[in-house]
A and B are shown apart, each in its own frame.
Chain A
Amino acid sequence: MKKETGTGKIDVTICTGTTCYVMGASDLLTLEETLPEKILNRVNITGTTCLNLCKNKEDKPPFVMVNEKIISKANLESVKKAIQQELSGEKNANAE
């Protein structure tokens, strides 16, 4: 699947496939509403039909990707934390 890149924003991809959905992805759909506005402006939230991680026995669904980072057993808290981390990572990179 092709993805829009180069938006300068942090890409957050929520998997809404069967396995992720039954393991709680439906809660993650509200992510947009739970983020403060200044963070919201810096993320690009999309869904995907399957990240193809569910076939892998080691990781546990539901899955969310924050940029290149895979979050397994994702919930709103862990996704927010990962976004924060990416944001501060960017800041550090800019400062260098």
Chain B
Amino acid sequence: MNSFIEVDYSQKWKSTERIPGDIFLLSRDKTEGRIVCTLSDGLGSGVKANVLANLTASMGQKFTTSKMDIIKSAQIIMKTLPICKERKISYSTFTIVDINSNGKAGIIEYDNPGFILVRDNKIVQTDFTVIPLENRFPGRKEKLKHTELELKSEDRLIFFSDGVSQSGMGTAAFPLGWRRPDIENFILQQISQKRNISASELSKKIVGRALLNDIQKAKDDITCAAIYVRKPRKLLLLSGPPIDPDNDIHLVNNFVKFQGHKVICGGTTAQIISKGIDENIITNLKERDVDIPPSSEMEGADLVTEGILTLSKTADMLENKESWSTMKPNAVKKLITLFMNSDEVHFIIGTKINEAHQDPSIPVEIGLRRTIVNRIKKILEEKYLKKTTLEYL
């Protein structure tokens, strides 16, 4: 399957609590392209719920990623988890989703609201098998729901805790909570309004709406996860002139041919491309920042920035997930935004050393392009789960 599978979730905690009682965990195996995620809802809310949900989700993740059969892992979780004798209910409910690189998905659900599959802008009902569980409570039959699916390009899978489906319960507008058909309609509406809405945005919209149903004070933990199978969004980043000027033409060709967003980080590199495609570079002199040179614009490129200083700052900011979101729009923020909106990043790094940077009279240390780019590449892969490739010219 030549698609990228985007997974994200959004969450609001019960308004009286400081930690969530719902837990979402995600792991991606880069070599196999396998994705496992678990949403677990601990009984009640607060610390106890958090610990139980965490325990459940971690077990789900561990067993499933360790190649254990998804049904088997669910059964072990059920055996291990403590139960509430008085209320005759389990301490946590869960959904585990396991997707391989061909889009084959296995889903196990225990007492969470059922997942929603959207295909071709319609809700698709799926068949499932029921796996009965050992009797833990007399007079109450417990079961797991197991679904197998072949995910297709543009499919979306949405699942959530009951904080979503019970939102607004008891209010005049939603006496029985946010009912499933209404949630489904809401999702279809979001997709029809924005055809390629990301998993991240869709999950935020759903949680936002559930919170609104609760009149902005969550009555329970509200968590929604979304999976979106889509064409990978690609980004090309060029930085540095080639060591052999004869290769300038390769750089230009690569730039022109590339399908996706294009960024140039480096003044000389930008000039090579500008000459090659015969377009002007216009610097945004209104962008003022003491340590980040202004970005520029050029027809054909999505962004042009200075090289080393901008890249170093970008690496620092990427390491610190929160701080860049509050930055004013400068070259670094623009570059990070492009990274975040991409699934695959291809770096082409020219290795010619700029001798001016080696001048001892320069007051700041200017690092090596290669080192900085490798640092960014690593952070993008490990922290942001992006696919990256790199070539030197």
Q: Do A and B come from one complex?
A: yes
A residues engaging B (CB < 8 A)? 1-3, 14, 16-19, 21-23, 25-26, 29-30, 32, 45-50, 52, 54-55, 57, 61
A61→B294 CA distance, assembly (Å): 17
B364 in the interface (beta carbon within 8 A): yes
Counting from the closest, the 7 A-B pairs by CB-CB distance are A47-B283, A49-B267, A50-B267, A54-B356, A17-B267, A19-B356, A21-B293
For window 243-294 of B, CB contacts with A under 8 Å fall at 266-268, 270-271, 274-275, 278, 280-285, 288-291, 293-294
From 363 to 377 in chain B, residues with beta carbon under 8 angstroms from any chain A beta carbon are: 363-364, 366
CB neighbours (8 Å) of B354 from chain A are: 18-19, 54-55
B357 to chain A: which residues have CB within 8 Å? 18-19
Known: A49-B267, A49-B281, A55-B355. A18 touches B306 (CB 8 A): yes
Tell yes or no: B307 within 8 A of A by CB: yes
24 of the cross-chain contacts (CB-CB < 8 Å) are A2-B280, A16-B294, A17-B293, A18-B267, A18-B356, A18-B357, A18-B366, A21-B293, A22-B364, A22-B366, A26-B289, A26-B291, A26-B293, A45-B285, A46-B285, A47-B285, A49-B267, A49-B296, A49-B304, A49-B306, A50-B271, A52-B268, A54-B356, A55-B356
> Do the beta carbons of A1 and B309 come within 8 Å of each other?
no
Contact A21 B309 (CB under 8 A): yes
A55 to B296, CA, bound (A): 22
Does B124 sit within 8 A of A, measured CB to CB?
no
* Cα separation A24 to B274 with both chains bound (whole Å): 26
Expressed in whole angstroms, the minimum distance between the Cβ of A53 and any Cβ of chain B is 9
Asked whether A29 lies within 8 Å of B285 as measured between CB atoms, the reply is yes
- Chain B interface residue count, CB cutoff 8 Å, equals 35
B275, B280, B306, B362: which contacts A17 (Cβ < 8 A)? B306
Chain A residues with CB below 8 A from B282, complex form = 46
From DSSP, what is the main secondary structure of chain B's interface residues? loop
Q: A residues within 8 A CB of B274?
A: 1
Please measure, in the bound complex, the distance between the C-alpha atom of A47 and the C-alpha atom of B304, giving whole angstroms.
13
Chain B residues lying within 8 Å of A29, measured Cβ to Cβ, are 285, 288, 294
Residues of B within 8 A of A47 (CB): 283-285, 294, 296
Q: How many Å lie between the Cα of A22 and that of B278 in the bound state?
A: 29
In chain B between 296 and 337, which residues have their CB closer than 8 angstroms to a CB of chain A? Answer: 296, 304, 306-309
User: 1/0 per position for B343-360, CB-CB distance to A under 8 A?
Assistant: 000000000001111010
A23 CB to nearest chain B CB (Å): 7
Asked if B288 contacts A30 (CB within 8 A), the reply is yes
Interface centre among A3, A17, A18, A47 (most CB of B within 10 A): A18
* Inter-chain contact A49/B270, CB cutoff 8 Å: yes
Return A11 CB to nearest CB of chain B, in Å: 14
Assembled-state Cα–Cα distance A44/B369 (Å): 33
- Among the listed A2, A17, A19, A32, which residue makes an inter-chain contact with B285, where contact means beta carbons less than 8 Å apart? A32
Instruction: Kindly state the separation between the CA atoms of A1 and B268 in the bound complex, as whole angstroms.
Output: 11
Closest residue of chain B to A26, judged by CB?
B290
Query: Do A22 and B363 have beta carbons less than 8 Å apart?
Result: yes
Q: Shortest Cβ distance from B352 into chain A, in angstroms? A: 11
On chain B, the residues within 8 Å of A21 by CB distance are 293, 306, 309
Residues of B contacting A25 in the complex (Cβ-Cβ under 8 angstroms): 293
- Known contacts A1-B275, A18-B356; 20 further A-B pairs (Cβ under 8 A): A1-B274, A1-B280, A14-B285, A16-B285, A16-B294, A16-B306, A17-B268, A17-B293, A18-B308, A22-B362, A25-B293, A26-B288, A29-B294, A46-B283, A47-B285, A48-B283, A49-B267, A49-B268, A49-B270, A49-B304
Q: Which residues of B contact A61 (CB under 8 A)?
A: 356
Determine if A19 and B288 form an interchain contact, defined as CB atoms under 8 angstroms apart. Answer: no
In whole angstroms, how far apart are the Cα atoms of A6 and B304 in the complex? 26
Q: Which residues of the partner chain B approach A48 to less than 8 Å between Cβ atoms?
A: 267, 281, 283
